[in-house]
Amino acid sequence: MKPLRYRGRVLTGAVALSLMASLADCHEKTAGSLALHPDRMPRVGAVDARYQSYNIEMVEVTGGRFWKPYPPPGAAASSDRYQYRSPIDLSNPRLRKLAAALGPAYVRVSGTWANSTYLADSDDAPPAPPAGYGGVLTHQQWKGVIDFGKAVDANIITSFAISAGTRDSSGVWTPQEAQRVIAFTRAAGGAIAAAELMNEPTLPSIGAAPAGYDAAAYGRDFSVFRKFAQESAPDMLILGPGSTGEADDDTSAKPDNLRTRDLLKAMGPGGVNVFSYHHYGAVSERCDGPRKADGALAEDWLARTEHTFRFYQKVRDELEPGKPLWVTETAEAACGGNTWAATFIDTFRYLDQLGRLARQGVRVVAHNTLAASDYGLLDERDFAPRPNYWGALLWRRLMGATVLDSGIPIAEGQHVYAHCLRDVPGGVALLVINNDRASPRTLAVGTSGLRYTLSATPLQSRAVSLNALELRMGADGELPPLTGVKFPAGTLTLEPATITFLALPDAGNQGCRQ
């Protein structure tokens, strides 16, 4: 038989025949209803145990000007894109409780501001950063990150300063500042699990890099970084490049932007342990992007994350073959998100992205942010959960690390993603998204289970219901029980514009017993 190409891999012989048979059996379409057989769904991969992760921007930790939240409806808009915020209180009990419920995870402390942040020598910040830096991180603030990570089971990812203060007289990056960060982290009882040299090197002009910074300069700096990391932090994964903004084609949008392919060539082969990139489907209205959510459930919008993946997968395969893929920063839109990023309509994108990328082999996805601006999972004022948080919590409780193939091709109204059910041998969990605003879908499932359906009216609501009951935190800050509704084997109706998780503990999937 001819080789079978499946999910980017080439299969031959008995393996290909077995997979074809499994896919043929695992679903069928009968009388307009999708029929699933979860017991026959084949394993197609696995994600990291910390797959669903999040960012806390460095500027949140230090305090500073970050994307200003939109005003309430009817209030006067401001022309200022930014707003000063005091350093985030990472010891806040509610914040820790909500973050811990998503663990284990990675917490990435980075962002554009990290490229020029200086670690002070004490718990007090100097009145101004040293020459060549734009911000100051105190010992107390970084220790707060370390303590937060331990409390919520979130391993730390970061990047290092690369601004003028880190460079020698010839403009070459030096590791002294990074060494101070590593040394203090260890002294404080912490560890950095993984790091990129800098945030978004494809956009050097906005990232505090020297004027005229090019791929050759990055390759030179990265060689210094790689040697430093291997010698000073051998247990720290080297991530990179952390690119963004070039998935539409293989050219940069602006003359001073850099191409990932050129960066990797300048770095040389074997430069990273993990290939990392960022994805935003658009820039927000704050930065003159789209101002309406009309297309928030459209197929082309939901597919943008896969389009970006394909672009970077091709570059990875060419220049860093076999390296794991991580998305270290992503959200609804760059520049803090749109007005609807804090509403239920964005939960379709959030969960669909997790399902798509897991199926494609991405190992980690870090959402930007946990609790800042409009794309935060939590409201930055009181850490109240937003709709995306509730979706994240259901994913964490139900979707295990082993990825299955549902056998259902993606089409409007039928986005069906399958994983092994977390902590239940043989069990299967399904994420079923009906992004059709008008028509219901039916799904025939050959086993009984529990159903968890998220919905909201209107779709751009900050309140979300689980099985028709609004989700709210208790007065004492406790999370509500996320209780599923039992259903027998048979046909389920999926109402328009709803998101449903199905827990099938008795599926009997052999691939989920390992």
What's the pLDDT at 23? 44
Q: Residue 22 pLDDT more than 70?
A: no
* Claim to verify: residue 95 and residue 38 sit in the same structural domain: no
What's the pLDDT at 250? 46
pLDDT tens by residue, 350-388: 999 999 999 999 999 999 999 999 999 999 999 999 999
pLDDT tens by residue, 424-444: 999 999 999 999 999 999 999
31: pLDDT confidence band, cut at 50, 70 and 90?
very low
* Claim to verify: residue 330 and residue 409 sit in the same structural domain: no
Q: Look up residue 486 and give its two tokens.
A: 């039992």
The CA distance from 29 to 6, in Å, is 21
Number of domains in the chain: 2
| Cβ pair 283, 335 in contact under 8 A | yes
Token pair 């989700």 in the structure block, residue: 471
Q: Residue 8 pLDDT more than 50?
A: no
* Claim to verify: residue 184 and residue 209 sit in the same structural domain: yes
Q: Residue 464 pLDDT more than 70?
A: yes
Give the CATH number for residue 500.
2.60.40.1180
What's the pLDDT at 125? 83
264: pLDDT confidence band, cut at 50, 70 and 90?
very high
Handedness of CA 116, 122, 124, 128 (dihedral sign): negative
* Claim to verify: residue 342 and residue 201 sit in the same structural domain: yes
Strand duo 469-470 + 441-445: pairing = unpaired
| Pairwise pLDDT comparison (125 vs 507), residue with the higher score | 507
Range of the domain at 211: 52-401
Q: What percent of the chain has pLDDT over 70?
A: 91
pLDDT tens by residue, 127-185: 899 999 999 999 999 999 999 999 999 999 999 999 999 999 999 999 999 999 999 99
Q: Residue 401 pLDDT more than 80?
A: yes
Strand duo 364-368 + 469-470: pairing = unpaired
Q: Residue 12 pLDDT more than 60?
A: no
* Claim to verify: residue 125 and residue 241 sit in the same structural domain: yes
CA atoms within 13 A on the CB side of 416: 25
* Claim to verify: residue 276 and residue 175 sit in the same structural domain: yes
Give the CATH number for residue 376.
3.20.20.80
Domain boundary among 357, 374, 401: 401
DSSP annotation of 466 = E
The CA distance from 242 to 260, in Å, is 9
The CA distance from 450 to 473, in Å, is 22
290: pLDDT confidence band, cut at 50, 70 and 90?
confident
* Claim to verify: residue 393 and residue 414 sit in the same structural domain: no
17: pLDDT confidence band, cut at 50, 70 and 90?
very low
Cβ-based neighbour number of residue 153 at 10 Å: 14
What's the pLDDT at 75? 72
* Claim to verify: residue 56 and residue 167 sit in the same structural domain: yes
Domain boundary among 379, 401, 423: 401
Q: How far is CA 238 from CA 50, 105, 196, 363, 465, in A?
A: 17, 18, 6, 15, 41
Mean pLDDT of the chain: 92
What's the pLDDT at 26? 45
* H helix or E strand, kind and range, residue 119: strand 117-119
247: pLDDT confidence band, cut at 50, 70 and 90?
low
> DSSP 3-state assignment of 204?
helix
* H helix or E strand, kind and range, residue 365: strand 364-368
What's the pLDDT at 46? 98
Domain boundary among 401, 433, 454: 401
- Among 162-166, 214-218, 472-476, the least confident range: 472-476
What's the pLDDT at 450? 98
* Claim to verify: residue 229 and residue 294 sit in the same structural domain: yes
Cβ-based neighbour number of residue 251 at 10 Å: 8
* Claim to verify: residue 151 and residue 216 sit in the same structural domain: yes
* Claim to verify: residue 123 and residue 221 sit in the same structural domain: yes
Q: Look up residue 302 and give its two tokens.
A: 């939901």
What's the mean pLDDT in 490-509? 97
Q: Residue 329 pLDDT more than 60?
A: yes
User: Under the phi-then-psi rule, with left for phi > 0, alpha for psi from -120 to 50, and beta for the rest, what region is 62?
Assistant: alpha
Q: Residue 1 pLDDT more than 60?
A: no
Cα 390 from chain centroid (whole Å): 15
514: pLDDT confidence band, cut at 50, 70 and 90?
confident
> Following DSSP, what letter does each residue of 18-53 receive, concatenated?
HHHHHHHHHEEEETTEEEE-GGGPPEEEE--TT-EE
* Claim to verify: residue 122 and residue 77 sit in the same structural domain: yes
